Amino acid sequence: MSVAVSPPSTRSPRGPSATPSESLSRAINAAVADLNGVREEIAKVLVGQPQLVDALLIGLLTNGHVLLEGVPGLAKTTAVKALAASMHAKFHRVQFTPDLLPADLIGNLIYNPQRGEYSTKLGPLFANIVLADEINRAPAKVQSALLEAMQEHQVTIGETTYRLPEPFLVLATENPVDQEGTYPLPEAQVDRFMLKVVVDYPSAEEEKVILRRMARSHPKTELESVIDSEQVLRWRDLVDEVYLDEKVEDYIVRLVVATRSVAQHVPELDGMVRFGASPRATINLALAAKAHALLQGRHFVTPQDVKTMARPVLRHRIITTFEAEAEEVSAESIVESLLAKLPVP
């Protein structure tokens, strides 16, 4: 549902306007057309999963990392590789294993005995898109090595800091934590992901299409690169131009703050939340809502954009209690309850 919103009188005249200029409208239409071209390329190897594709595109548009969770065989890796193949960009895949070392990600100093000096070998993080495959199969020390890269877009090797290329995006896949051979991701690491997408099974009709397309010894997987890094950087500037009304801003803030005092809004959930979402969630929810509006071809954010993006932005940022686990109350259900209770502008 699209709801037109009026501009507040306190909005700075230099900020994004509720009335788009002709050039902004043209730029949004051109971006949507190009992004639909990316969708078409991904659809050559990925059947269905529109929410997954949208999440990957929103991460691309907002400079936000994306975590994909699901059991093996749901095409999580395929989706990320398809996105990378549709871009003229550098792509690296890292298979996370229990014996992976931090240096295997960021790089290392190598001593040359003939010259008597060290040289730097940069790791696979130096790419535009990095696929951290099965990220929860590596121990905490490896996860911590990603923090600086994901937050600051730089890594430190020895005494030297190296900037990562732009755009830089970590797209990680993980199996549910109750699967054999996995580790729970540290909260600080999980919070660095803008979105967490829970990938579900395809429908019976979609699975039949998958069978017909992929049940062969050499399935066709060649994709065409239809966008480049410069376009992505321009689109990120375009996301900043999407109008966010003050009433919608208040709705975002109220929703995030409500995760810290759930019992005030949903009394039956009293004692179910240890920690709510941080201000980083507020920032990410606003950015994700803007990007979602852009994907729909709009220059303004509606409350429905916020509600759509609240689930992937908040589900991994709410830490539940042992009581919630015993009662089988998940962070997902808490977000759903808050969305149902809070008034929509």
Residue 186 in tokens = 């540290």
Pair 207, 249 in one domain = no
Within this chain, do residues 232 and 306 fall inside the same structural domain, yes or no? no
Say whether both 88 and 192 belong to one domain.
Answer: yes
Q: Which of 240, 274, 293 is the last residue of a domain?
A: 240
Residue 201 in any domain: the answer is yes
Residues 206, 268 share a domain:
no
Q: What is the pTM of this model?
A: 0.86
* pLDDT score at 179: 65
Domain span including residue 264? 242-345
Question: What pLDDT score was predicted for residue 296?
Answer: 93
Report the 10 Å Cβ neighbour count for 130: 28
Q: Is residue 116 part of a domain?
A: no
CATH number at residue 72: 3.40.50.300
Q: Look at residue 291 in the predicted model and tell me its pLDDT.
A: 95
What is the pLDDT, as a whole number, of residue 158?
80
Give the Cα separation of 315 and 226 in Å (integer): 32
Q: Is residue 342 part of a domain?
A: yes
User: 201 and 333 in one domain?
Assistant: no
Same-domain check for residues 173 and 246: no
Count structural domains, the chain: 2
- Contacts of residue 40, Cβ cutoff 8 Å, sequence gap at least 6: none
Whether residues 170 and 76 share a domain: the answer is yes
Q: Let me know whether 210 and 324 are in one domain.
A: no
Same domain, 188 and 283: no
In a domain, 7, yes or no: no
pLDDT reported for residue 20: 66
User: Do 47 and 171 fall within a single domain?
Assistant: yes
Could you tell me if 208 and 323 lie in one domain?
Answer: no
pLDDT at 218: 73
Amino acid at 336: E
Identify whether 6 is part of a domain: no
Q: 3-state secondary structure string, the chain?
A: CCCCCCCCCCCCCCCCCCCCCHHHHHHHHHHHHHHHHHHHHHHCCCCCCHHHHHHHHHHHHHCCEEEEECCCCCCHHHHHHHHHHCEECCEEEEECCCCCCCHHHHEEEEEECCCCEEEEEECCCCCCEEEEECHHHCCHHHHHHHHHHHHHCEEEECCEEEECCCCCEEEEEECCCCCCCCCCCCHHHHCCEEEEEECCCCCHHHHHHHHHHHCCCCCCCCCCCCEEHHHHHHHHHHHHCCECCHHHHHHHHHHHHHCCCHHHHCHHHCCCEEECCCHHHHHHHHHHHHHHHHHCCCCECCHHHHHHHHHHHHCCCCEECHHHHHCCCCHHHHHHHHHHHCCCC
Q: Are 37 and 83 a contacting pair, CB within 8 Å?
A: no
Evaluate whether residue 79 is within a structural domain: yes
Output the domain CATH number for residue 307: 1.10.8.80
Question: How confident is the chain (345 residues) per 10-residue block, as mean pLDDT?
Answer: 40 55 86 92 87 93 92 85 90 90 87 79 91 87 83 85 91 79 78 91 86 76 84 92 93 94 88 90 96 94 95 92 86 91 90
Q: Note the pLDDT of residue 73.
A: 81
Residues 86 and 188 placed together within one structural domain of the fold:
yes
Asked, for residue 114, whether it belongs to a domain, the answer is no
